Amino acid sequence: MLTIDIMPPPIIKPTTSVLTFADYWDHILARWRVNRTGHRVEPGLYSIGNPTPESPVFVTANYTLSFDALRSALKGMDGYILVLDTHGVNVWCAAGKGTFGTDELVFRTTATRLNEVVKHRVLILPQLGAPGVAAHEVRKRTHFKVDYGPVRAEDLPEYLKTRAATPEMRRVRFTLKDRITLIPVELVAILLPLLILIVLGAKGPIAAILAGTVVFPILLPWLPTHNFSTKGFILGGVVALPFVITAFLRNPESAVWLRSAWALVYALLIPPITAYLALNFTGSTTFTSRTGVKKEMLAYLPAMAWMFGVGLLLNIALIFVH
């Protein structure tokens, strides 16, 4: 008897452009680093509105904030969202790590049988995903063309009118609001040592930590120099200055060398702490590249370690002298 295997239709999961309280709560938890790697959606193909075979296909990461930013920007539109497995990492960072990349895009396009869902052969990717994707390779392996949409999902409605991004849509912005949003994540990461320092009353290191995690992102565009490390050293130096002056002027009856040594402790300890925490922001902005960050780390991490180490040893020695 002749049997015919009938393939089941491609799996398409529905979604909407409406964000619920649960979605917003998830965003808050993600910003405060609660269950940091758990904010993800299932990879695959999603439908929004009432799409047809001619509807556009948008590609994003399976980080909930990335997915929600895209779907909420498509309010009143019909289309498909192809979600790649980036292990819960946003588009730009995942592109740098390779999870938002050519192989995953090819695999997900094939696995979802996207060619059976839509008649066209165009994938709209976020611009910040470009570093991880070789468009010519995707077209060769899937016959789908890659179009890079605007930097921000909120510009998609305007982009779709002409399928051309304006220079403003291509411009990478890192506004004050964007920078302030990053502060909770950085604060939570160093919360335990910060609390210990507060209990110990170590005002200098506390000031250094708050400068590197709170003040630095706020002042980032206005701090001189190009490198994040040198920006951090400069900010740390400014923060250290009042501690240096106070240490030198305190107890004027003490020997000058002793007061100078205590002042030197602050000058050595505070700047590298602030600079190290400032260097963490290279992974949170689009101002940097992987190669640039590696060069900066090789150039400045040894200096941070030496300064902090010498300052710490001097501090311990002075405690015994005292």
Residue 91 in contact with residue 66, Cβ under 8 Å? yes
Q: What is the pairing mode between strands 79-84 and 122-125?
A: unpaired
Supply the pLDDT for residue 322. 65
The reply to whether CATH 3.30.70.20 applies to domain 13-173 is no
Give the angle 232-170-110 at the CA atoms, nearest 5°.
105
Concatenating the DSSP letter of every residue in 86-135 gives: -SS--HHHHHHHTSSSHHHHHHHHHHTTHHHH-SS-EEEE-GGGGGG--H
Supply the pLDDT for residue 2. 53
User: What CA–CA distance (Å, rounded) separates 199 from 267?
Assistant: 22
| Residue 8: both structure tokens together | 């089941």
- Count Cα neighbours of 129 within 13 Å in the Cβ-side half-sphere: 32
Weakly modelled stretches of the chain, pLDDT under 70? 1-6, 283-284, 286-290, 322
Supply the pLDDT for residue 204. 94
Supply the pLDDT for residue 294. 81
What's this model's pTM, rounded to 2 decimal places? 0.84
Q: Residue 184: which H helix or E strand, with range?
A: helix 183-189
Supply the pLDDT for residue 5. 59
Ranges of each domain in the chain: 13-173, 177-321
User: What CA–CA distance (Å, rounded) separates 51 from 77?
Assistant: 8
Q: Which of these, 40, 135, 156, lies nearest to 90 by C-alpha position?
A: 40
Q: Which of these, 81, 185, 177, lies nearest to 126 by C-alpha position?
A: 81
Kindly report the backbone phi and psi dihedral angles of residue 14, in degrees, each rounded to the nearest multiple of 5, phi listed first.
Answer: -80, 150
Supply the pLDDT for residue 4. 55
Supply the pLDDT for residue 295. 84
Residue 125 in contact with residue 147, Cβ under 8 Å? yes
Supply the pLDDT for residue 1. 52
pLDDT digits 0-9 by tens, 225-238:
888 999 999 999 99
245 C-beta neighbours (distance < 10 Å), count? 12
